[in-house]
Amino acid sequence: MNKNNSNSSLLQLCTLSGTSEIGRNSNFVEYADEIVMVDAGYSFPGQELYGIDYVIPNTKYLKKNKKKVKAILITHGHLDHTGALKWILPELDYPPVYAGGFAKALIEEKLKEYKMDKKVKIVGIDRKSTVNIGKYFKATFIGINHSIPDAFSIFLDTPKGNIFFSGDYKFDKNPANEPQSDYEKLRSLRGKIDLALMESTNAST
C-alpha cells in the first residue's frame, strides 16, 4: 500500500490470522522501523487438532522484528481478539497494550494469573481517545456497539495511507448499557480511508 510512487518506505499490512476463519483475529501494520499490531486473539481447534487447546497467530516475523513493535491495539475484550496476549507479549518483550476499560480489566485479570501484569503497560482508552504511537502512527478509537461493552473501531493514520479496522460491531438503536455507536465520528472519516478491514462472520459463504 503506497499513496505515491516514491522509493521511500512502503506501508505494509499483514493479516496474521482471522481472515476466512472464526477467531484468532490479529493483524499488523509496518512502516519503516515501526510496527503496530491490532488484536491478538486465539481460536479453538477442530477435531483434526485433537489434544491442542488453542490455536494462536503465527508471530515468527514479529519475533524477528520485535524491536519494531510499538504497541498492540485491542478492539474489544473477547478472547478471539485478546486471548493470545499471554503468549505473544513475552515473545515481543511486552510492548504496551491499548484497550477500552472493559477489555483492559479482562486482560489485566488474565495476565495476573500468569504473573505478567507487572511486566506490561496497559493503557486505557475511551471514545475520545486519539493516541500517537511511535514516530509514524496515530490511532483514533471510535466507539461501536457489540455484544460486549467498550468495543471500538480503529482509524490508523500513517504517512502512506489510512487504514480502518472495523472490529466486531452491530447496529443497535437501543444498546442496554452504553451509548450508541459513534456514527458522527464514523461519518467524519468519509473520504479519509484508503483501506477498510471489515469484520463479518461467514461473509464469503
Q: Which amino acid is at 27?
A: N
pLDDT in tens, 166-196: 887 888 888 888 889 999 999 999 999 999 9
For the chain, domains (ranges, CATH) are 11-197 (3.60.15.10)
pTM of the prediction? 0.88
Q: How confident is the model at residue 133 (pLDDT cuts 50, 70, 90)?
A: very high
What per-residue confidence (pLDDT) applies to 2? 46
